[in-house]
C-alpha cells in the first residue's frame, strides 16, 4: 500500500510539473517573413503568442510591429494577454494596439521599445528596463504604459526613456509603487519632452519617485529627469521634495528653460513643468509668483505678496487682467499667450502655451 501511495504521489508531481511546462510556453520572434506581429510565419513555433506565452523579441532583419490587437485574430484571447515580454539586445518592438503582460512575476527587458498612439501596455507586476548586458531605449510617442508595481528605469544596464507624448505611470491605487530612475547599477535617463509621467498619488517623496539614490549600494549609479514640454504629476503637496531634486540636479529643465512647481490644492496634485523666460532678466527675477500653463488651465502659484497678472495675445492685445493675494487657477482657451507678473519686488514675463 505504501508503494502504491508513493507511486501516486510521484505521478501527481510529474503531472504538476508537466502542466507548468505547458503553461510556460516560450515563443521567439524571428521576423523571417515581415514585421507583422500577428503573422505566424514570424515566430519560431509557427503560431502567434497567447495568454500563456513568454514572448521574446530577438534581433532580426524585420523589427516586430504590433498594430492590431491579438483579439482580432484570436477570439479566445479577448483581453490581449501574453505572459511575459523580453526584448533582447538588438530586438525592436513597436506597439500601437492594446496588449497586457499578465505574469505574476516581474518583467525584465532591454532592447528597443516604441509605443505609439492607440497603443497601451499594462504590466501586471514590476517592470525593469535595462538588464544585464542588455541596455534599453524606450520611446513613448503616444498611448499609455503602466506598471502595476514598480517602474525601474535602468536596472543592471543603462536605460533612456524618451516620453514624446502619451502617459507613463504606475498604478494609481494601493498596488502602485515607486518610479525609480537610475538607482541600481547603471544610468537611467528620462527625457520628458511631451506627455505625462504620473507617480502613485497615494505615495509621497522617494516612495513615489526615486532618482539616483543608489538604492542597491552602487556609488556609480546615476540618473536624472529632464523636463521640456511634458509634465511630471505627483499626488499631494510635493513642492519641497521636488525642489530638493531640482537643487541636486536630479530634475532639470531643457536648455533655456526653468523648472516650475505648481500645487493644485483642490485636486491635491503637484505639477512639475518647464517654462521659457522671455528675457535674460526673468531668469534672475526676484518675483516669487509663478504663472504656468498645464493642459487647459493657467496656474498662479507661490504668491507671497499682491500680484498683478496681465495676459496678452501674441499680437499684444490685453486679454485678461487681475490681482491676487493667493494661489489660484482658471481655465483658459488654447493658443500662445504672454503673461506679465508685477509685484512690489519687480516684474517678469512668461510665455504660456495652452493645449
Q: Which three cell numbers stand for residue 303?
A: 504668491
Q: Do residues 208 and 261 both lie within one domain? A: yes
Q: Do residues 122 and 264 both lie within one domain? A: yes
List the one residue out of 77, 69, 72, 161 whose CA is nearest residue 120.
Answer: 69
**Distance between CA atoms of residues 194 and 327, nearest Å:** 25
What residues does 57 pair with on adjacent strands? 29, 87
> CATH code at 296?
2.60.40.3080
Residue 67 lies in a domain: no
Q: Do residues 268 and 297 both lie within one domain? A: no
CB 314 within 8 A of CB 338: yes
End position of a domain, from candidates 239, 272, 305 = 272
Lowest pLDDT segment from 100-104, 124-128, 177-181: 100-104
Residue 30 lies in a domain: no
Range of the domain at 309: 289-354
| Cell 483581453, located at residue | 79
Tens digits of residue pLDDT in 198-220: 999 999 999 999 999 876 656 66
Specify the pLDDT at position 217.
58
Three-state DSSP at 159 gives strand
Q: Do residues 251 and 116 both lie within one domain? A: yes
Specify the pLDDT at position 276.
83
CB 97 within 8 A of CB 69: yes
End position of a domain, from candidates 238, 272, 306 = 272
Q: Do residues 344 and 214 both lie within one domain? A: no
Cα→Cα distances 52→7, 20, 36, 156, 292, Å: 30, 10, 20, 27, 47
Q: How many domains does the chain divide into?
A: 2
pTM of structure: 0.84
pLDDT (mean) for 276-280: 65
**Distance between CA atoms of residues 166 and 141, nearest Å:** 6
Q: Do residues 246 and 301 both lie within one domain? A: no
Q: Do residues 147 and 189 both lie within one domain? A: yes
Amino acid at each position: 500500500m505504501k508503494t502504491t501511495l508513493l507511486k501516486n504521489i510521484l505521478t501527481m508531481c510529474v503531472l504538476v510539473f508537466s502542466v507548468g511546462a505547458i503553461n510556460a510556453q516560450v515563443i521567439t520572434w524571428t521576423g523571417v517573413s515581415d514585421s507583422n506581429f500577428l503573422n505566424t510565419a514570424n515566430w519560431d513555433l509557427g503560431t502567434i503568442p497567447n495568454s500563456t506565452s513568454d514572448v521574446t523579441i530577438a534581433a532580426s532583419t524585420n523589427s516586430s510591429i504590433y498594430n492590431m490587437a491579438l483579439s482580432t485574430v484570436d477570439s479566445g484571447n479577448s483581453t490581449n494577454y501574453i505572459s511575459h515580454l523580453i526584448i533582447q539586445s538588438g530586438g525592436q518592438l513597436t506597439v500601437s494596439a492594446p496588449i497586457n503582460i499578465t505574469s505574476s512575476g516581474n518583467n525584465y527587458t532591454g532592447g528597443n521599445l516604441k509605443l505609439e498612439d492607440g497603443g497601451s501596455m499594462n504590466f501586471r507586476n514590476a517592470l525593469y528596463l535595462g538588464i544585464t548586458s542588455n541596455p534599453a531605449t524606450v520611446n513613448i510617442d503616444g498611448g499609455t504604459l503602466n506598471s502595476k508595481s514598480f517602474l525601474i528605469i535602468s536596472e543592471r544596464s543603462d536605460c533612456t526613456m524618451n516620453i514624446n507624448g502619451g502617459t507613463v505611470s504606475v498604478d494609481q491605487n494601493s498596488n502602485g509603487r515607486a518610479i525609480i530612475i537610475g538607482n541600481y547599477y547603471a544610468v537611467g535617463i528620462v527625457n520628458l519632452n511631451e506627455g505625462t509621467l504620473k507617480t502613485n498619488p497615494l505615495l509621497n517623496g522617494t516612495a513615489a519617485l526615486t532618482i539616483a539614490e543608489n538604492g542597491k549600494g552602487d556609488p556609480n549609479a546615476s540618473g536624472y529627469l529632464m523636463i521640456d514640454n511634458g509634465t511630471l504629476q505627483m499626488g499631494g503637496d510635493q513642492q519641497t521634495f521636488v525642489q530638493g531634486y531640482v537643487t541636486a540636479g536630479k530634475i532639470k529643465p531643457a536648455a533655456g528653460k526653468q523648472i516650475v512647481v505648481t500645487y493644485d490644492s483642490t485636486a491635491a496634485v503637484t505639477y512639475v513643468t518647464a517654462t521659457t523666460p522671455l528675457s535674460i532678466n526673468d531668469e534672475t527675477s526676484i518675483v516669487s509668483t509663478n504663472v504656468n500653463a498645464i493642459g487647459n488651465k493657467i496656474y498662479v502659484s507661490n504668491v507671497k505678496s499682491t500680484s498683478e497678472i496681465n495676459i496678452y495675445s501674441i499680437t499684444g492685445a490685453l486679454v485678461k487682467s487681475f490681482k491676487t493675494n493667493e494661489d489660484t487657477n482658471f481655465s483658459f482657451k488654447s493658443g500662445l499667450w504672454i503673461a506679465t507678473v508685477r509685484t512690489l519686488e519687480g516684474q517678469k514675463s512668461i510665455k504660456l502655451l495652452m493645449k
